[in-house]
Amino acid sequence: MTIHQYQKRCSKEYISSIKFPKENTYLYGNPVNTVVPIETAIGKVMVIGPNPAAKLYFVSNIPDVPLCDVTAPFSIEPYFDGTRVRSSFTGQEFNEIILETLEIKRQECWLTSLVKVFLFDDDHVKKYQRLSMEIKENRSRYKEYANKSLQWIRDEIEIANPYVIILLGPEVISSLLLMSEEEAMEAMTGKVIEKKIIWKNSNFICLPPPGVILDRSARNPWPRKFAMKIGPTAMKEIQRLKSQPTL
């Protein structure tokens, strides 16, 4: 299967394959669609996040109201949100925290998400209620949608053939590596984990998500852990794998 064939099939079939309600829409009727991988480097680094963000707007004095899909996983496309020019926090944080620390260029990556649709959390529901629209919270169904999305990620891995796969966050790690979220938290060390996916062993590196690394609250240990050990370890592992001859 070519990249283009996969993108077309994913765009057409993904939502029905995970039994995601087609009637889900944003505030002004924009449908919640599949966010298909666009940046698709072959034979290099694959990065898998939990699910795509949405474009957030300032509506009736309410900030950060999701109104439509982003154009791609980890998108950094600029847009005007009603008060200022901005881009997705997810994409910005990913560039600044993950790529810069690991010394990876964005064009060297296949960027994707395990669940390929935006999910509404309780905060989004409350904002929509203030804007006189009822929506259903579905972020709590993440695990269900993730399990139904595994075949799509396996297809991407087969096409991309990456030398390393970076998994961001315990939800992604537990789903892909078949472990509990507690075990997934312990796996976020930056060290390579080998696991057979499809037809060969793949090299996985498990990292905390960028938003957690940027959270500077006193009780959050991850910024220091990432700066002092996890990030440097992951960078060395990626350099080691990159220097190995390919078969």
First-to-final CA distance of the chain: 21
Name the band, by pLDDT with cuts 50, 70 and 90, for residue 245: low
Cβ 42 vs Cβ 56: under 8 Å: no
pLDDT at 51: 96
Q: Which two tokens stand for residue 79?
A: 């847009």
Predicted TM-score (pTM) of this structure: 0.94
3-state secondary structure of 90: helix
Q: Report the alpha-carbon distance of residue 243 to residue 198 in Å, rounded.
A: 24
Q: What is the pLDDT of residues 38-84, one digit of tens each?
A: 999 999 999 999 999 999 999 999 999 999 999 999 999 999 999 99
Asked whether residue 247 carries a pLDDT value surpassing 60, the answer given is no
Q: Average pLDDT of the chain? A: 93
User: Which CATH architecture does the domain made up of 3-243 adopt?
Assistant: 3-Layer(aba) Sandwich (3.40)
Rounded Cα gap, residues 89 and 159, in angstroms: 28
* pLDDT for residue 201: 85
The structural domains of the chain, with segments of one domain joined by +, span 3-243
* pLDDT tens-digit map of 78-104: 999 999 999 888 888 899 899 999 999
d(Cα 167, Cα 227) in Å, to the nearest integer?
A: 18
Report d(CA 175, CA 143) in Å as an integer: 8
